[in-house]
Amino acid sequence: MGKVYDALRRAEEQRAQRSGEGGNAAATAAVEPTAPVPPVAPGTRDAQPMAPPPSRAGRGIWRRLGLGRKSRVQDTPAEINKRRIALLQPDSFVAEQFRNLRTCIDSIAAGHPEHEIRTIAVTSALRADGKTTTAIGLSAVTAMGVGKRVLLLDTDLREPSIARSLGLRPKVGVAEVLRGDATPEDAVLRVEGTELDVLPVRSVPSNPAELLASTAMRDLLNWAADNYDRVVLDLPPTLGLPDAKAVSELCDGVVFVVRAEETPREDVEAAIEVLDRRRILGLLLNGEQREDPRYEYRA
C-alpha cells in the first residue's frame, strides 16, 4: 500500500499550498459515469490490509484523516441543510443532478440484467468530499419513484452523520444490530413526510472495522436487499481505513464522490485502487461552480 501513502503525501503538500485560497464551491453535482462494468460478486477478492502510517512525514496526513482522534466533526445548521437539500428542495437543480445519478445507475443495471444492482455503496477518498450528501440525495430521489422501497443505511461507524442530518432520534442503530442486540426492523426509521426508510447509527462502537467485516454485516445487507428495491450505503472515507473496502465488497456497486478542485487526482487513483475499479459504477463530481445552473447540465 506504499502507493497510497505516496499519493496522500503529495496531496498534503498540494493542499498546504492552497490553504486559505477560495471559498466554498457551489452545492451542485455533475455525474461522470464510467463504462458499464458488471459488479464483482461479493467475497471473490480478499481485502488488502492497510500498512501502518508513516512515522513522521505522514503524521499531518493521518491527523487530517481523523485517525486516532476521539472528537467528532461538529455540524452547523447550514452544513446539515446542504446534506438534505434534495429533501428540502426536491425541484432544485441539485436534486435534478441526483436524479441524473439515479438514471445513470438504472441505465447500467438495464445493460447488465444478469447483475442486479440493488445495494449501492457511496464513498470518497477523504473526509468532506460530499459522500454523505450524495448518499442522502440519491436515496431521497430514488424514494420519490412510484412504488420504490428505498433504505438509506449508515455504515460510517466512526463519524456517523445520517441521523443528525435527517433529524432522527434512533433508540437502536447499526452497531446494535450487528452485535445482535436488536433486529433491523427495530432500528429502521421513516423520514417524516417521505417514503424513505433509514437505518442510522445510534452509538459509535469500539470495534467498527470488526463489525463491518463480520458475518452479521453480510446478513444485514442480505436482509436489506430482500426487503427493499434499492439500498444506499453511506460508507466511511476510503483512504486510511479498512471499513470502506470491507463493506464495498458486499455491495453490487460503488459510487465514488470527488470534490471539484479539491480532491487531488492522486487521492482518487489511490482510493479506486483500494476499492477495485471493477466495482465502481461511476464518479460524481461534487461542488462544481456554475454561472447559471438553471440551464447547464452534463450527462
Q: What is the pLDDT of residue 52?
A: 34
Cβ proximity of 209 and 242 under 8 Å? yes
Q: What is the pLDDT of residue 194?
A: 93
pLDDT at 77 over 60: yes
Cα–Cα nearest to 74, from 25, 126, 128: 128
Q: Please name the residue that has the C-alpha cell 446494535.
A: 176
Q: HEC states along the chain?
A: CHHHHHHHHHHHHHHHHHCCCCCCCCCCEEEEECCCCCCCCCCCCCCCCCCCCCCCCCHHHHHHHCCCCCCCCCCCHHHHHHHCHHHHCCCCHHHHHHHHHHHHHHHHHHHCCCCCCCEEEEEECCCCCCHHHHHHHHHHHHHCCCCCCEEEEECCCCCCCHHHHHCCCCCCCHHHHHHCCCCHHHHCEECCCCCEEEECCCCCCCCHHHHHCCHHHHHHHHHHHHHCCEEEEECCCCCCCCHHHHHHCCCCEEEEEEECCCCCHHHHHHHHHHHCHHHEEEEEEECCCCCCCCCCCCC
Q: Which residue has the higher pLDDT, 261 or 24?
A: 261
Q: Which residue has the higher pLDDT, 78 or 161?
A: 161
Q: Which residue has the higher pLDDT, 55 or 159?
A: 159
Cα–Cα nearest to 131, from 277, 12, 239: 239
pLDDT at 64 over 90: no
Q: What is the pLDDT of residue 54?
A: 34
Summarised one tens digit per residue, pLDDT across range 160-213 is 999 999 999 999 999 999 999 999 999 999 999 999 999 999 999 999 999 999
Region of poorest pLDDT, from 27-41, 90-104, 193-207: 27-41
May I ask the CATH class of domain 2-45+75-286?
A: alpha beta
Band (pLDDT 50/70/90 cuts) for residue 239 is very high
Average pLDDT, the chain: 78
Q: What is the pLDDT of residue 48?
A: 34
Band (pLDDT 50/70/90 cuts) for residue 84 is confident
Mean pLDDT over 53-69 rounds to 34
Mean pLDDT over 111-138 rounds to 91
Q: Which residue has the higher pLDDT, 63 or 19?
A: 19
